Structure 1
Amino acid sequence: MGTSFGRGGATTFLQDLQHSDCILVMGSNMAENHPVGFQWVMEAKLKGAPVIHVDPRFTRTSANASFHVPIRAGSDIAFLGGIVHHILETDSWFKDYVLPYTNAANIVGEKFRDTEDLDGLFSGWDPAKEGYDTASWQFAGMAKANSAPEGQGSAAKAEPSGGLGGGLADAEPERDETLQHPRCVFQLLKRHFSRYTPEMVEELTGVPRERFVQVAELLCANSGRERTSAIVYSVGWTQHTVGVQLIRTAAIIQLLLGNIGRPGGGIMALRGHASIQGSTDIPTLYDLLPGYIPMPHAEDQDLQTYLDGHVKSGGGWARLDSYLISLLKAYWGEAATPENDMNYGRLPRIDKDHSTYRTAIAMLEGNVKGYFLPGENPAVGSANGKLQRAAMAQLDWLVVRDLFLIESATFWQDGPEVAGGQTRPEDCKTEVFFLPAAAHTEKSGSFTNTQRLVQWHHQAIEPPGDCRSELWFYYHLGRVIREKLAAAKDPRDRGILELTWDYGASGPKAEPSAEAVLREINGWDQRGRPLSGFAELKADGSTACGCWIYSGIYADGVNQAARKKPGSEQSWVAPEWAWAWPANRRQLYNRASADPAGNPWSERKRYVWWDAERAEWQGDDVPDFNRTKEPQYQPGEGASGDAALSGDAPFIMQGDGRGWLYAPSAVLDAPLPPHYEPHESPVRNRLYEQEANPMREIYNHPLNPYNEDPEKYPFVMTTYRLTEHHTAGAMSRNVPVLSELQPEFFCEISPELAELRGLEQGGYAAIITARGRIHARVMVTDRIAPLQVAGKTLHQVGLPYHWGQRGLTRGDSANDAFPIVLDPNVHIQEVKAATCDIRAAERPKWP
């Protein structure tokens, strides 16, 4: 979504779903996994909005929807691409929105070639480098915005991290406002999706054409001036080798229908944990600094070189210098000066792919000596658990911090390979340190949830025994390291010694102050005054800010995230409940809720508008726009930043201020989304000769074999979550009542597949792949029906992935069955679609 709109977060907020006239839930089982938020979907349904659930399984979400659409796992882009085709063929797109607010009129350079020309590839493909040179993707008359990747897993400067808005070498490329030019984005879009017909959708996805057309017609009928539709997704979309392109397709639909930035519209990206959004905002990702600032690369030798390569001419990212320099001042305080380049040289540089799966391979190769695992359980939660356990066995030391003694802490002692006699505990050289963590009730801090909402929670009780918060652990780890380096003479150690490290540790456990950290994240000026927002950040070193998108969260010296004003005492937008980034805006890009002249598209969908008398933007929400910029404003010659964007450019983090139907940069694998098959698929690609994403990250390793023969592995398998268990299971498999409600690892199969393979309800089955076998209890159910795909009956196997070898309920890990193969943009694993066989088996002897 960062590529399409400018920011890597949900465009809307959960309460706003009640105003939707139609809701498509796809890639998510929202009712079971996000039940609190699902209430707003039901509010919309009670008001008459159709709710559509597209999913391989019939779930509680399906039961509460208007209707359920079964689909083949891994064919989502074919389905969504068919919706794009329908919108364009039936002339259902919102012209008055699309023309000014998107790049539909932009003309692409004459050297560009689409998948329709190259049978599944785009121009610029270099098979030797296994990557694209994106020069031919650029708009006519424009220089290339980004350098080409150097191959799979490259840390190339295309910055595909999902949070950074798109940049252009020229904010105003050549345009054809009539949309008739054969190379304008609108015409390229029509051609690209021309073969995504209802018949092709049915052949690829298994969705009957009549049902598919019903979905497309409902979305179109409930979009426009008077009506808006919303799309809701979760990891059912992201965990594919085309995950980024899948979300891009949804973005194209919502832009064409005019649903972004408007009440009841948008794309709701549901996160799988309480603070997954926060873990990318203030990142645990190797290639990002806080606020989606790209991590420097090896060639970015000094601050100016870095800024020259990243600052955009127009839009919010034109102020990257103020965001980064304020961050450096937060890190190093008085030690960051103009004379030493603001201590920029102390930052690490990316020289290659350091993502989690590449790191696991490096462990196997003996290139990683130590590893920290805070709140992560790769022995269960990551693809190919067998490889993960083998990798951790090659470490010198491993630090595990968790609430319970998880499988990643005890793999050497009671893992499946030990139980099977393949390895022995005494042969594992890894020294494991288990340091118990504090639960959220035992510490103060914040969650940043699905809708970018930062909510503060207060400590209720002291953590027992040796349990400590993550803040305590990293603060004191840094303190001890600094003490040990106090007399160090090596210049490289100055970066650690000069860090600001005063967070007010106090109390019997010397717990640092979480609010002190929040104050630093918010930022302050030279006088120590808390900043009111990121607009106050300066590039001269006079402000410090730990994360620019969170600036304002401690405005006026008040913890804004701790606000809990009841809904009955404020507007429905609830601006005084906690705080949302950026600037407490709840609906992003809300300038688009008004027409180019600044008037609401309709009274029914009134949200933010231009008040001519006050000469400012007004509305139900904080305007996501320069509050005093007139709708008629046009930038002057040489304008930059916000001043380079016109008064009718709602996507203020994009270099051109427009939503991107076509992406000339910021993604590695495609400027327009094509349907590719999963890496393992029993179905041939009916659209292109190119079967799968050519840039998918493949890991050829003896411990990571792939299913090469679809005849041997004829069925599709997919993973999912249950209401009663949480992700890798440590927090739920140790709770008696939850373990009793879901006591055993199982697989869901259809009655037809059960008959085909001689499987019985309540019996046991072996799910077989090239990675080995896992065993599960059999649940025979109509909820996962066979589909007719490409003229054949296709069966699917559903696998909840919560189980492991520890806890009150134990079982094989579903992720052990899946290979490591990744999306090239964000390095996420494909565990929502792979192939398998399934056979009757004896009851397994789980420990």
Structure 2
Amino acid sequence: MTSHWCDFQNADVILHCGSNSAENHPVSAKWLNRAHERGAKWIVVDPRYTRTAELADIYCPIRSGTDIAFYGGLCNYIIEHDLWQHDYVLNYTNASYLLDPDYGFDPATGLYSGFDADSATYSNRSWHYQVESESHWDTAPGGAYAWAAAPGVPAFTPPTVEHPKRDMTLADPLCVWQQFKKHYSRYDLDTVCAICGMDKETLELVYATYAASGAPDKSGTILYALGQTQHTYGAQNTRAMCIVQLLLGNIGMAGGGVNALRGEPNVQGATDMGMMVNEHPAYLKWPNTTDRKSLRDWMESQTYADGYYTNKPKFLVSSLKEWWGEHATADNDYGYDWWPKVHAGGLADTIIPSFEMMEQGKIRGYFNWGMNPANSAPNTANVRQCMSNLDWLVVVDQVATESATFWKAPDMDPASIDTTVFLLPCALIFEKPGLILNSGRWIQYRHQAVEPWDEAKPDYEICDLLWREIRALYEAEGGANPAPVLNAKWDYYVDGKIDPRPVAWALNGYRVDGTDFARAEVDLCSGYGELAADGSTACAMWIYTGFWANSEAPLDPEKQACCRRGHEDPSGLGLYSNWSFSWPSNRRILYNRASADPAGRPWSADKVLVEWTGEAWKTFDQPDFVAAQGGVPVPPNDNAFFMLWEQNARLESYAMEDGPLPEHYEPFESPTDVNPLNGAFSSPCIRFADYPSTKRGTNEEYPIAATTYSVVEHWQTGGQTRMCPALIEAMPTQFIELSPELAAEKGIKAGDKVRVWNNRGSAVVDCVITHRFKPMTVNGKLTHLVGMTHHFGWAGVYATSESMVNDLTPNVGDPNTQVPEYKAFLVDIEKA
């Protein structure tokens, strides 16, 4: 999320693709409506005519799973019509960088250079740049990197700064720009329409309307959600959006950006906190068994040669000090070896293979905290069978979910299941105080409204009770590896009770000397620039540094409330910089240096975020660049993306697992047998497709393309919302939407019960016949699409269903994130 919701009002063009604000993120629609009232053009590209589409100026249907073809065509249109922002692309991206001579892509096979067929993985060596020259860090006293050789800093070899060869004329055939143009020249309007099932005239209108945001004084925003990410190429979908925005100069601009609409009030906070397998809190990486097996290895593999991530050692050591406290010393590498190691690539630890390991008997116990995989995971029939192999299952939730009662599923035999299930009731969000992060990266303190009901406890209190018992066992019995547990710092108490305030201090960061949590004496850091790699600072989340400190009363949440200091807005752009705190460093719009040209002059006089006056930087937002050093203003340069070592954004990227440029591949299950763009058909790097449980279906068996989505009345798997009679009255059941044409073909009438099935499962749902879905012509073949909601299961009181929609979704994953492909799969239907 490069911007925030209030910034949507500044957009000149809005593009929804893979999101539905009006129904799934209704508060965000307030700011979109404001932009619309000011004259912004609003575009919705979606398989279904949604309530957001009803608000928009242009609606263009798209076959689910073909987003990269759509964006690739947009890139080609922008280039062909010379609508790209020349100065922005030349100076702020890697367009001019020369690629390795071995770089290549073969449309006949759909493969980039470096593919290994045996492992279905790429080596990215040939995706790197040619090197013009090299330089080295100055670690001498007084040098820019003197801190790297200071006492207490772990020993590591600083990275070598490689200066890529560039061709500022963009004429060299090996420069990124020429390879980029060549790649997307195949994505012409006719080909995109054939793949996506679109009308050519409508598609061209969409392209022309959105590309108009590439004018230097205009900006366009792209809003996405699970409709983009839940595919076997979801990460590349996101990359494609970023590329479009770079071509048009929309990153860093007010009213621009690539903006993820989160589906829960704290999804952003959960990802920040490291709830993904391979991610340490604050998007650092956990140790592994290869290039991060030791602290020195971590620093040498993860520290960038240039840009702001040269400071990663500071962030990591400060995190280690928070984990291990006084036990983290320079002599023991600050306890780095006490951290567990993830498998290389993290594949074996994610949700889909975890159930395979249950089936194989490798996982005997499972903590199911704040999720409901027996309802929400892909191929849930397989999930339930795998869970029946567990010795024990702990479910922490507000209600008895399908996971807490998995043996009660209609297809399960309770007598054959020996799993012991523990249900720990936890407090609802209204029943506990604490911090949340919204989609815009705004951190806010939420006060407790009522006491938890009955035996329910806040999550952090449950954590503390478990921690105390586990630690007591290690103290009494030793165990195989007691040091990580016995040496862990766990002092988040006030008056002897676990409290969220000391956790907030730890997240903020503090100086170790002079801090005593027990006495509430905390020397808080005011920004991440104060963190050190010598063990003198502790910080659990470097991106949050300063969020709690910047207040007149930093130790009092009643007065602090995460910097709600006022709602003034000197920018006039809805930044509201004194309300809440936006990580990092209270920056509202990421990469805001790119809102001005290389000389520091704003592209738009009406959307000024930063401006060079000739003597210093005038800023309305916290600068996303080095504006001053040692109190001396730093004159403008073209380093607009200082979070990357190149300090230029990447049109081509060597960091992806499945290719340096987004390329269209078909979903795991596709209604077509043709991929006009390449010979690979589906992604060559797809994950978990070889599991027997995936049971891939063909379009001969299952000719109908299906997708899933949510309704505003229900939340996720419905555990809480199906306990509310008023919401059940408003939306009493799950349903399938299908076109009148398909309904006539199948002999189905509105209100009928419809059976939907494939190789993995079968579900009976209510039928809604609607023009919101229309048949499409895909590669010359008439193709039907249907959509289903997924909020119901057998658990609950006021509304239940014996059919699980996610029994139908395939348990395959994206090679970068391992996110499942919920949004495009095959089914057949009949009247039940």
TM-score, normalised relative to structure 1:
0.90
Distance of 2:95 and 2:188 partners within structure 1: 21
Q: Deviations over 1:610-651 (max 9, x none)?
A: 2334x3x222211111221699969xxxxxxxxxxx832111
State how 1:506-517 maps to structure 2 within 5 Å. Answer: 511-517=497-503
Matched, 1:547 2:536: no
Matched, 1:478 2:446: no
Distance of 2:228 and 2:818 partners within structure 1: 14
1:289 CA drift (Å): 0.8
The alpha-carbon distance between structure 1 residues 611 and 496, as it changes in their structure 2 partners (threshold 3 A), is: farther
1:180 CA drift (Å): 0.5
Distance of 1:488 and 1:425 partners within structure 2: 35
Distance of 2:540 and 2:487 partners within structure 1: 16
1:410 CA drift (Å): 0.5
Equivalent in the alignment of 1:19: 10
1:800 CA drift (Å): 0.6
Distance of 1:612 and 1:491 partners within structure 2: 63
Percentage of matched positions with identical amino acids: 38
1:115 CA drift (Å): 3.8
Matched, 1:433 2:442: no
Which amino acid counterpart does residue 623 of structure 2 have in structure 1?
Answer: P
In the alignment, is the contact (CA less than 8 A) between 1:596 and 1:631 conserved in 2?
no
Matched, 1:453 2:442: yes
1:210 CA drift (Å): 1.0
In the alignment, is the contact (CA less than 8 A) between 1:607 and 1:621 conserved in 2?
yes
State how 1:667-682 maps to structure 2 within 5 Å. Answer: 667-682=656-671
Which amino acid counterpart does residue 652 of structure 1 have in structure 2?
Answer: F
Matched, 1:537 2:524: no
State how 1:388-407 maps to structure 2 within 5 Å. Answer: 388-407=383-402
Distance of 2:23 and 2:564 partners within structure 1: 26
The alpha-carbon distance between structure 1 residues 386 and 491, as it changes in their structure 2 partners (threshold 3 A), is: closer
1:568 CA drift (Å): 5.6
SS in 2 for 1:618: strand
SS in 2 for 1:220: helix
SS in 2 for 1:520: helix
Unaligned runs of 5+ in 2: 135-157, 516-522
Equivalent in the alignment of 2:296: 304
Q: Deviations over 1:687-707 (max 9, x none)?
A: 111101100112434433110
1:523 CA drift (Å): 1.0
State how 1:24-423 maps to structure 2 within 5 Å. Answer: 24-116=15-107, 118-141=108-131, 170-299=161-290, 300-351=292-343, 353-412=348-407, 414-418=408-412
In the alignment, is the contact (CA less than 8 A) between 1:109 and 1:141 conserved in 2?
no
In the alignment, is the contact (CA less than 8 A) between 1:142 and 1:169 conserved in 2?
no
In the alignment, is the contact (CA less than 8 A) between 2:352 and 2:812 conserved in 1?
no
In the alignment, is the contact (CA less than 8 A) between 1:632 and 1:647 conserved in 2?
no
Which amino acid counterpart does residue 471 of structure 2 have in structure 1?
Answer: R
SS in 2 for 1:485: helix
SS in 1 for 2:597: coil
The alpha-carbon distance between structure 1 residues 334 and 176, as it changes in their structure 2 partners (threshold 3 A), is: same
1:168 CA drift (Å): 9.5
Distance of 1:792 and 1:171 partners within structure 2: 50
1:169 CA drift (Å): 6.4
Distance of 1:322 and 1:329 partners within structure 2: 11
Distance of 1:143 and 1:364 partners within structure 2: 53
Q: Deviations over 1:48-91 (max 9, x none)?
A: 11100110111110111112111101111111110000011111
Distance of 2:191 and 2:10 partners within structure 1: 33
Which amino acid counterpart does residue 594 of structure 1 have in structure 2?
Answer: A
Which amino acid counterpart does residue 591 of structure 2 have in structure 1?
Answer: Y
Distance of 2:444 and 2:187 partners within structure 1: 43
Which amino acid counterpart does residue 792 of structure 2 have in structure 1?
Answer: W
1:569 CA drift (Å): 7.2
The alpha-carbon distance between structure 1 residues 92 and 735, as it changes in their structure 2 partners (threshold 3 A), is: same
1:238 CA drift (Å): 0.2
In the alignment, is the contact (CA less than 8 A) between 2:103 and 2:126 conserved in 1?
yes
Distance of 1:43 and 1:65 partners within structure 2: 13
Distance of 2:237 and 2:132 partners within structure 1: 27
How many aligned residue pairs are there? 785
Which amino acid counterpart does residue 663 of structure 1 have in structure 2?
Answer: S
Distance of 2:533 and 2:258 partners within structure 1: 33
In the alignment, is the contact (CA less than 8 A) between 2:320 and 2:328 conserved in 1?
yes
In the alignment, is the contact (CA less than 8 A) between 2:626 and 2:634 conserved in 1?
no
Distance of 1:606 and 1:281 partners within structure 2: 29
1:13 CA drift (Å): 0.9
Which amino acid counterpart does residue 355 of structure 1 have in structure 2?
Answer: T
Q: Deviations over 1:244-275 (max 9, x none)?
A: 11111111100010000011111111111111
SS in 2 for 1:698: coil
1:566 CA drift (Å): 5.5
Distance of 2:710 and 2:38 partners within structure 1: 29
SS in 2 for 1:398: strand
The alpha-carbon distance between structure 1 residues 651 and 343, as it changes in their structure 2 partners (threshold 3 A), is: same
Equivalent in the alignment of 1:627: 627
Q: Deviations over 1:483-515 (max 9, x none)?
A: 222245557212111111111155xxx751111
In the alignment, is the contact (CA less than 8 A) between 1:74 and 1:832 conserved in 2?
yes
The alpha-carbon distance between structure 1 residues 631 and 214, as it changes in their structure 2 partners (threshold 3 A), is: farther
Distance of 2:176 and 2:372 partners within structure 1: 44
SS in 2 for 1:738: helix
SS in 2 for 1:258: coil
Distance of 1:583 and 1:92 partners within structure 2: 34
1:351 CA drift (Å): 2.6
Which amino acid counterpart does residue 769 of structure 2 have in structure 1?
Answer: V
SS in 2 for 1:680: coil
The alpha-carbon distance between structure 1 residues 213 and 168, as it changes in their structure 2 partners (threshold 3 A), is: farther
Distance of 1:488 and 1:744 partners within structure 2: 52
Q: Deviations over 1:433-459 (max 9, x none)?
A: 001110111111111121111111011
Distance of 1:363 and 1:430 partners within structure 2: 12
1:564 CA drift (Å): 3.4
Distance of 2:76 and 2:293 partners within structure 1: 46
1:713 CA drift (Å): 0.7
In the alignment, is the contact (CA less than 8 A) between 2:133 and 2:162 conserved in 1?
no
1:308 CA drift (Å): 1.1
SS in 1 for 2:670: coil
Equivalent in the alignment of 2:582: 580
Distance of 1:401 and 1:530 partners within structure 2: 33
The alpha-carbon distance between structure 1 residues 570 and 517, as it changes in their structure 2 partners (threshold 3 A), is: farther
Q: Deviations over 1:526-581 (max 9, x none)?
A: 22310001100100000000110111112156266533356367653111221110
Equivalent in the alignment of 1:523: 509
Q: Which moved more, 1:380-389 or 1:214-223?
A: 214-223
Distance of 1:297 and 1:671 partners within structure 2: 24
Distance of 2:43 and 2:159 partners within structure 1: 37
SS in 2 for 1:716: strand
Matched, 1:803 2:782: no
Distance of 1:36 and 1:632 partners within structure 2: 39
In the alignment, is the contact (CA less than 8 A) between 2:58 and 2:206 conserved in 1?
no
Distance of 2:485 and 2:445 partners within structure 1: 29
Q: 1:687 aligns with which of 668, 677, 682?
A: 677
Distance of 1:143 and 1:331 partners within structure 2: 40
Q: Deviations over 1:17-74 (max 9, x none)?
A: 1110000011001111111111111111111111001101111101111121111011
Which amino acid counterpart does residue 508 of structure 2 have in structure 1?
Answer: N
